[in-house]
Amino acid sequence: MTEESEHPDLAGLQRRLAEFAAARDWQPYHTPKNLVAALSVEASELVEIFQWLTPEESAGVMANPETAHRVRDEVADVLAYLLQLCEVLGVDPLAALAAKIDRNERRFPVPGDSGEPGGSRDSAEPGEAGE
């Protein structure tokens, strides 16, 4: 295991993914449409692990080594495709997330901070990333 794989950083992971694809001549297939489709498939495979579990079972999913391994693999697949999509589109994923959190903090103020009981709410549910 290399130092980079033990302590990865986002840019290093994106570079490794790009090098992996380039070495196999996969770049022509890494279009935004294809990457989004692959991301959706991998996210669905992650959902499949939890699909019929009770809330209690889902909270304990990492206690089972076999299931925990599957979860980690699917999380890695989702992240890999998301990072590749960001690279192709020129999106800084950390900056995008920071901006989204900023917007959500304004959209969903802490109850009582807006002068109204319960704060301001719109159509999104608490915990949703929003539109």
pLDDT in tens, 3-39: 566 778 999 999 999 999 999 999 999 999 999 999 9
Burial class (CB in 10 A: 0-12, 13-18, 19+), 35: buried
The rounded distance, in Å, linking the Cα atoms of 101 and 104 is 5
| Local confidence band at 119 (pLDDT 50, 70, 90 cut-offs) | very low
CA angle 53–56–61, rounded 5-degree value: 65
State which H helix or E strand residue 88 sits in.
Answer: helix 65-89
The answer to whether 89 touches 39, Cβ cutoff 8 Å, is no
Residues 6+ apart with CB under 8 A from 95: none
pTM of the predicted model, to two decimals?
0.79
